[in-house]
Amino acid sequence: MKNSLKHQLLKRTLIPLIIMTIILVAVSISGLYKANSDQVKEELIRDADLAMYVFDTVYTGEYWAEDADGDGELEMYKGEQRINGEATLIDDLASKLNIEITIFYKDVRLLTTLKDADGNRAIGTNASVIVKNDVLETGNSKFYSNVMVYDAKSYAYYEPIRDDEGNVNGMIAVSRSQESVRQKMLWYSLPVLATCIITAFIIGYVMVYFNRMLANRISKMGVYMKTLANGVFDEEMPRDITAKDDEIKSLANDGKRMARAIKTLVEYDPLTALYNRRFADRKLEDVRVKAVEMGIKYCICIADIDFFKKVNDTYGHEMGDHVLKEVAKKLKEGMVGKGSAARWGGEEFLLIFEQRELDIARRELSMIMDQVRTIWVPDSDRQITMSFGLTALEPGESVDSVLQRADANLYEAKETGRNQIICK
């Protein structure tokens, strides 16, 4: 009977379950997409800096252009060497980084990897008015998460090129199509989607089977799962749900494991198993509030592996990953009972010392640094060392301010010899 209690309970339990699952999937995938967008931005900024470095290393002098032949086409130079007659370097660099690279003189593309359907390069085409106003006119770098780059929706980062006098005379642009990023995100999203669907199916099955006797417990579990769907992964599970050792208890535990799995995806770095930058940003804001409201003392440190690029270049990226894992292990062990450690990006790490004066944090950091020095690249004579920029968080100080000071200390440590702690 459609109006029987069984069917009524079925509708009243399954409909909220479906909605809850949709919300959970939406929140989880939305978080992954946001994290991925931030990662793409960081990668494009890094790639733009790398491209600038490569061109500055291979060619010397300033960028300039002229129409020497009088044929209406500009020839682009860097110093005395023409660079837009041969595209091998820029093509190789773009291929290795899996991006598109363009160098503008003013707002005109004179060197680019962008091509149309016939294989013709976009030489001589102009940047959009928006990019021109945002970058050339202001002299500031700009990241776009949804911009048309030569008729393709893309993520793009534009960085101004300056001459020796500091005037902006062009731009370097790096971009990656949204389609390629979307395909990558699909593979990241499938495990989350599959976990949510499988768990929801199990929940629904148990609810249907026990709906008459266990309606109250199922209702409470639905409330708990909605809490997880809203991103509150540390919420305590109601005792009524686990009061009996039956399928409902098992189902609730599955939901908790799913929450841990999603929390791991969102908050932890997959390579080092440390907290990721997304979590660290939230932690820093929490630290700032506690420093003001509760008077808790905190010290912030940004650390960087010395000569890490040489490790990658000499021994390969697999060895580089091994070094990152070993360093992360030492940092995590060293911060037990002292605070938390997170991977800040690349070979940089963030350490947060809780309830520590600056001199105590420095002594503890020295012991961590000594432990890092025990790491050697396997089968080599290369020792791994790190540079540290340590500072204290002042009550009322912004997160950006303390990070800038820690970063400045790290920069000084790197510039004055590395393998040391600069504490100010």
Q: Which of 99-103, 230-234, 288-292, 408-412 has the lowest mean pLDDT?
A: 230-234
Arithmetic mean of pLDDT, 25-52: 80
CB-based contact 357:312 (threshold 8 Å):
no
> 138 and 111 in contact (C-beta within 8 Å)?
no
What mean pLDDT is predicted for residues 106-123?
85
Q: What was the pLDDT predicted at 194?
A: 74
Q: Among 169-173, 244-248, 270-274, 363-367, which is the least confidently predicted range? A: 244-248
For the chain, state the CA radius of gyration: 27
Q: Within 13 Å, how many C-alpha atoms sit on residue 407's CB side?
A: 9
Q: Tell me the pLDDT band of 409, cut-offs 50, 70 and 90.
A: very high
Confidence (pLDDT) at 235: 66
Q: How many other C-beta atoms can be found within 10 angstroms of the C-beta atom of residue 328?
A: 19
**Residues with active-site annotation:** 347
Q: pLDDT at residue 26 above 60?
A: yes
- Whether residue 2 is predicted with pLDDT greater than 60 in this model: the reply is no
**Arithmetic mean of pLDDT over the chain:** 83
Residue 333, pLDDT score: 94
Q: Global pTM?
A: 0.46
In this structure, what token pair is assigned to residue 204?
Answer: 């629904």
Amino acid letter, 316: G
pLDDT in tens, 197-236: 787 777 767 666 666 565 566 666 667 667 766 666 666 6
pLDDT at 6 over 60: no
Cα separation, 356 vs 392, in Å, equals 9
Task: Identify the band that residue 334 occupies on the pLDDT scale cut at 50, 70 and 90.
Answer: very high
Q: Of 38-42, 143-147, 230-234, 315-319, which one has max mean pLDDT?
A: 315-319
pLDDT (mean) for 31-58 = 83
What is the greatest pairwise CA distance in the chain?
A: 89
Q: In what order do the strands lie in the sheet with 152-162?
A: 108-112, 100-105, 168-177, 152-162, 142-149
Between 223 and 423, the higher pLDDT residue: 423
User: pLDDT confidence of 5, banded at 50, 70, 90?
Assistant: very low
Flag the least confident range among 145-149, 359-363, 374-378.
145-149
Residue 29 pLDDT class (50, 70, 90 cuts): low
Compute the distance between CA of residue 277 and CA of residue 343 in angstroms, rounded to an integer: 6
The mean per-residue pLDDT over the stretch 386-392 comes to: 96
pLDDT at 260 over 50: yes
Amino acid at 160: P
d(CA 89, CA 346): 25
pLDDT value of position 124: 84
Residue 177 has pLDDT above 90, yes or no: no
pLDDT at 54 over 50: yes
Domains of the chain: 5-33+193-267 (no CATH), 35-181 (3.30.450.40), 277-423 (3.30.70.270)
More confident residue, 6 or 405: 405
Look at 148 and 404; give whichever has higher pLDDT. Answer: 404
Is pLDDT larger for residue 311 or for residue 225? 311
232 or 191, which is more confident? 191
pLDDT band at 303 (very low <50, low <70, confident <90, very high): very high
Give the full edge-to-edge strand order of the sheet including 81-82. Answer: 63-66, 75-78, 81-82
> Are 348 and 304 in contact, with CB atoms under 8 Å apart?
yes
